[in-house]
Amino acid sequence: MLNTIHNWKPAKSRIRASKVKNCSGHGYHKEDSPFLNNADSSKGNEYYDRNLALFEEELDIRPKVSSLLSRLANYTNITQGAKEHEEAESAEISKKKTPKSPSMGTLMGVYLPCLQNIFGVILFLRLTWLVGIAGVLQSFCIVFMCCCCTMLTAISMSAIATNGVVPAGGSYFMISRSLGPEFGGAVGLCFYLGTTFAGAMYILGAIEILLAYIVPKAAIFKPIEPHEETTAMLNNMRIYGTMFLTLMCLVVFIGVKYVNKFASLFLGCVIISIFSIYVGVIKSAVQPPEFKICMLGNRTLSRNLFDVCAKTTIENNTIVTTKLWDMFCTKNITESCDEYFVQNNVTEIQGIPGVASGTIKENLWSSYMTKGEMLEKKSLPSVEAPGSRKNLAVYVYADITTTFTMLVGIFFPSVTGIMAGSNRSGDLKDAQKSIPVGTILAIATTSLIYLSSVILFGACIEDVVLRDKYGDAVMKNLVIGTLAWPSPWVIVIGSFFSTCGAGLQSLTGAPRLLQAIAKDNIVPFLRVFGNGKVNGEPTWALLLTAIIAEFGILIASLDMVAPILSMFFLMCYLFVNLACAVQTLLRTPNWRPRFKYYHWSLSFIGMSMCLALMFISSWYYALVATVIAGMIYKYIEYQGAEKEWGDGIRGLSLSAARYALLRLEEGPPHTKNWRPQLLVMLKLDEDLHVKHPRLLTFASQLKAGKGLTIVGSIIQGNFLENYGEAQAAEQTIKNLMTIEKVKGFCQVVVSSKVREGIAHLIQSCGLGGMKHNTVVMGWPYGWRQSEDPRAWKTFIDTVRVTTAGHLALLVPKNVSFYPSNLERFTEGHIDVWWIVHDGGMLMLLPFLLRQHKVWKKCKMRIFTVAQMDDNSIQMKKDLATFLYHLRIEAEVEVVEMHSSDISAYTYERTLMMEQRSQMLRQMRLSKTEREREAQLIKDRNSLIHPTNVYVDEEEMMYMYPDKIQMTWTKEKCESERNRGRTSTPNSFRELISIKPDQSNVRRMHTAVKLNEVIVNKSHDSKLVLLNMPGPPKNQDGDENYMEFLEVLTEGLERVLLVRGVLSKVESAVFPCRNELKIIRIIIWWNLFEWEDCAHVQSLMLACQWW
């Protein structure tokens, strides 16, 4: 099974869209004939088969196994770009010649390229110095740690590489397809930076070999004073490094084929150089090479500055002072000589004692040095005496301060390059076999050579020579070259060409890695670097690589550049181990590597070692690299990388979500953790556009990205027939959610009845403990002008459903006047009219709204109502205390409502309300009569269903309240027709003589009085929050209930009707005496039906508890 099988699809499926028109609602092709062997079937031999008759209608979207296996056999691991293999199957590319099949084996394809990339400049220029500074034991520890890190990473990489096809792109594709585009982009760019700085390091190494050991006279800057030698060397490396970088970039630009042709030559230089070292070690046991070191006391002298290692010499039987004497003395008299030179003897010791000399005992322990400290051999006698600073140039001294951690950072680049095999996976005959075997063997080989070299260097070379970084004590020879056979020039020439080749390889691979990242289109600002020449060469990526490498060249110090690229490589290896560990622990069905010798614990150890080595080598570089990777990760996440690669992070998120949901199931949330988890009910028009998008704006302002938000909608119809419509509606809502910055989920339900769909949505949304506790729905505008009761019937039924489900309900009225997310209120108030206790919901909502920048500068005011016999002063104090315990800042005001008689306006308004209800009822009855007459002509066994998209059976029963007789006689028909004609005048007289119900008059009186008080106090408020009364139990009063709500909110621009839950949502309790006052207010209003009496009963029980 291919690793990318979830992204793969047969080519026939791409023509599915063009054939949809010929499909039924179920998505299957219609049969032209029920017979398989008819004439028309001959045209479809590709699809129809005698043995596959059961599946013939789906063969265009579900191909036969034979065709699938044929495509899998021809599958090639070409580089995946932005279109993921789509371009490879286009007609234009199909006309080209068939590409040559991969034929490289394990040796040439993986093993030798890994050897070439692992062995590099550090082995030849710094390994002997590292052994001399850290000692054999600590050096062995450093090398062993680094080699173990790469070996564990290679095991993890082998598991990932054998879990399907690895496209040409190596580590980036392994990480991105295992950990997702965010991690892939971040680590891919870090790996790119590491490869680029590796090219700069190799160029600096080549320049150091050139100027220090091959052509020292080619230096442009020469030191005038001894202390200026380091500065002059750095300036020379900047000049020559820039020249070498330009030349190498030109070679890469002209053609990569030239680089690949010389790769074998460079690899041969490396192998010959290493072979000459081992031969020299064997020869040193019998005949050590002659490299004398001149010592003054126990101090090492730079041998290239003088010819004879002595103070005086005999010429023609006379004592003659040497050049060394002249360097320490001003004249030929002892008194003017350097004090230390006078009191100590000049001696010569063997620089390469040989493997049998026992010098390893002296080299076991570390000798860390500070900058400017002279190289001293502790075993030689020395008389301490003050010396002159002008003679410092004669001594060999340290150019940098050394520590264990710094040496780790310098050495680690010498073990990188383990991904050379995976980068060439497109050229391998059997990548899943060659990559693990070749990579692990290459790491084992190089590790053995490194570890043995540490021991052999410590056994063969004198300690002061090992600590001499540039070979000043051995006549400016490369230290490792003094041990080589037959000549040091073998190492010098070989190391120079190998470093040049490694630099070319880095400058070749880095642009292609950047091009692969750019073509994936996960980092938008890198999109331009995906382009190149006609043949695909990454021209722009090469230019950026050259610019970044130039920064490394300007640093000019090999010891400063090495830790930088160590950070980037270690971060890359860390995430390779993380990818393997995550995939192994998740046990995803697609995780089936052919390489079986892996375990999540090994990957975890490798990941831990990478992290430890990062901070051991350089903690500040590690922080910088981590910050860079984190910024890239957040940038890709912010831009929204629309890539689905079946990565392990997605699986890890699913496992974490499952664990969290199971934890949430353990009990209900505590009051302190309660927040409104919204289900926003949206209504769509006939074109599937949202009618009131400001509902989403309000939700985004209320939630501010926190908690759960589900946006739901209902489409009436049959799911099989309206599935495409539901998908289009869901996409429309998701686009609107993105515009309004609502972070949440979308769910569109197809139901035959709208009311049932709403009920199902309210019941079934969410999962486990992540369920909504608050429903947000719009107000049914224009319900008064509509003859159809469905607009407000659906609204009231939704209120009843939320009440039955113990859910809170928010109804923003006049939602079109609510502010957008771009508006800002610089002043104003949010007024809360606290009429009944709803668990603290009214207090919490303004606080949440004020967290958003739109409402942030609005102040909060809380109003409550008292009767004349209540102590309003005490109520205000108790309310202020309550708010203090809730930690909410708000102005408090108690409004006294005077008892008054029912006004004529109230009576008249109630009368108009009931007359209107009766009138609409008669109009619906007249319509029913017309439908009955039309039904006589229709089929007696069928009902006439309205064509409105929101009609359902319950509404039909409302429109036809009388029982419909399906078998009428002629006399029955005439009597019914006459009854319909004579009933209208009587109904009109009844409408004129109607008297309003006294309970409705009282409710209307309360609504009018409340509205007057609210408008008087809050007419200029930015938002008014008001308790929403529950609907009556008797559904005959539903229309009156809507009228009461209209009267209650009349004259207010923005109103939020809140129907809370009985459970507390704030962590403070209201004083009991105020609850009793509120109970009296509820009874006085007489606005609420028996459902709110349950609220009263619970409050009274709470007061008894107090």
Tell me what the mean pLDDT of segment 121-144 comes to: 94
* Radius of gyration over every alpha carbon of the chain, rounded to an integer in angstroms: 43
Q: Which amino acid makes up residue 681?
A: M
The predicted structure's pLDDT at residue 112: 85
pLDDT-derived band of residue 661, with 50, 70 and 90 as boundaries?
Answer: confident
The predicted structure's pLDDT at residue 688: 87
pLDDT-derived band of residue 81, with 50, 70 and 90 as boundaries?
Answer: very low
Tell me what the mean pLDDT of segment 629-646 comes to: 75
**Measured between alpha carbons, how far is 1053 from 814 in angstroms, rounded to an integer?**
7
Q: Which amino acid makes up residue 1059?
A: R
Span between the terminal Cα atoms of the chain, in Å:
68
Is the pLDDT at 40 greater than 50, yes or no? no
**Of residues 383 and 48, more confidently modeled:** 383
Write the pLDDT tens digit of every residue in 718-728: 998 899 999 99
Q: Mean pLDDT of all residues in the chain?
A: 77
* Residues near 231 by beta carbon (within 8 Å), at least 6 away in sequence: 221, 223
DSSP helix/strand/coil, 399: coil
Task: Write out the H or E segment, with its range, that includes residue 1083.
Answer: helix 1072-1085
**Measured between alpha carbons, how far is 1053 from 816 in angstroms, rounded to an integer?**
10
Write the pLDDT tens digit of every residue in 1027-1062: 888 887 777 667 778 878 888 888 888 899 998 876
**Of residues 776 and 658, more confidently modeled:** 776
**Measured between alpha carbons, how far is 225 from 391 in angstroms, rounded to an integer?**
11
- As to burial, measured by CB atoms within 10 angstroms (0-12 exposed, 13-18 middle, 19+ buried), residue 7 is middle
- Torsion (CA) 441, 445, 451, 456 in degrees, nearest 10: 160
Write the pLDDT tens digit of every residue in 244-253: 999 999 988 8
Tell me what the mean pLDDT of segment 172-193 comes to: 80
The predicted structure's pLDDT at residue 445: 95
DSSP helix/strand/coil, 82: coil
**Measured between alpha carbons, how far is 770 from 939 in angstroms, rounded to an integer?**
51
The predicted structure's pLDDT at residue 82: 32
pTM: 0.69
pLDDT-derived band of residue 277, with 50, 70 and 90 as boundaries?
Answer: very high
Tell me what the mean pLDDT of segment 594-606 comes to: 93
> What would the two tokens of residue 447 be?
């590790």
Is the pLDDT at 878 greater than 70, yes or no? yes
The predicted structure's pLDDT at residue 293: 92
The predicted structure's pLDDT at residue 1068: 46
The predicted structure's pLDDT at residue 189: 87
Is the pLDDT at 22 greater than 50, yes or no? no
**Measured between alpha carbons, how far is 636 from 959 in angstroms, rounded to an integer?**
57
* Cα distances (Å, whole numbers) of residue 562 to 416, 547, 553, 911, 1073: 11, 18, 12, 91, 76
**Measured between alpha carbons, how far is 789 from 783 in angstroms, rounded to an integer?**
8
Is the pLDDT at 1064 greater than 80, yes or no? no
Tell me what the mean pLDDT of segment 787-794 comes to: 70
Is the pLDDT at 792 greater than 90, yes or no? no
Task: Decide the pairing of beta strands 292-296 and 1023-1027.
Answer: unpaired
Is the pLDDT at 957 greater than 70, yes or no? no
> What would the two tokens of residue 355 be?
């493997």
- % the chain with pLDDT above 90: 25
Lowest mean pLDDT among 44-48, 77-81, 179-183, 389-393: 77-81
Write the pLDDT tens digit of every residue in 333-376: 555 788 888 888 999 999 999 898 889 999 999 999 998 888 99
Write the pLDDT tens digit of every residue in 746-779: 999 999 888 889 999 999 888 887 888 899 998 8
Q: Which of 991, 957, 962, 955 is nearest to 976 (CA)?
A: 962
- Torsion (CA) 704, 705, 708, 713 in degrees, nearest 10: 80
Give Dmax over CA atoms of the chain in angstroms.
Answer: 161
Lowest mean pLDDT among 91-100, 571-580, 879-888, 986-995: 91-100
The predicted structure's pLDDT at residue 1053: 86
**Measured between alpha carbons, how far is 585 from 362 in angstroms, rounded to an integer?**
48
Burial 797-818 (b: 16+ CB within 10 A, else e): bbbbbbbeeebbbbbbbebeeb
Tell me what the mean pLDDT of segment 725-746 comes to: 91
Taking the alpha carbons of 231, 237, 243, 246 in that order, is the dihedral positive or negative? negative
**Of residues 35 and 518, more confidently modeled:** 518
* Cα distances (Å, whole numbers) of residue 54 to 42, 51, 67, 1089: 17, 8, 18, 61
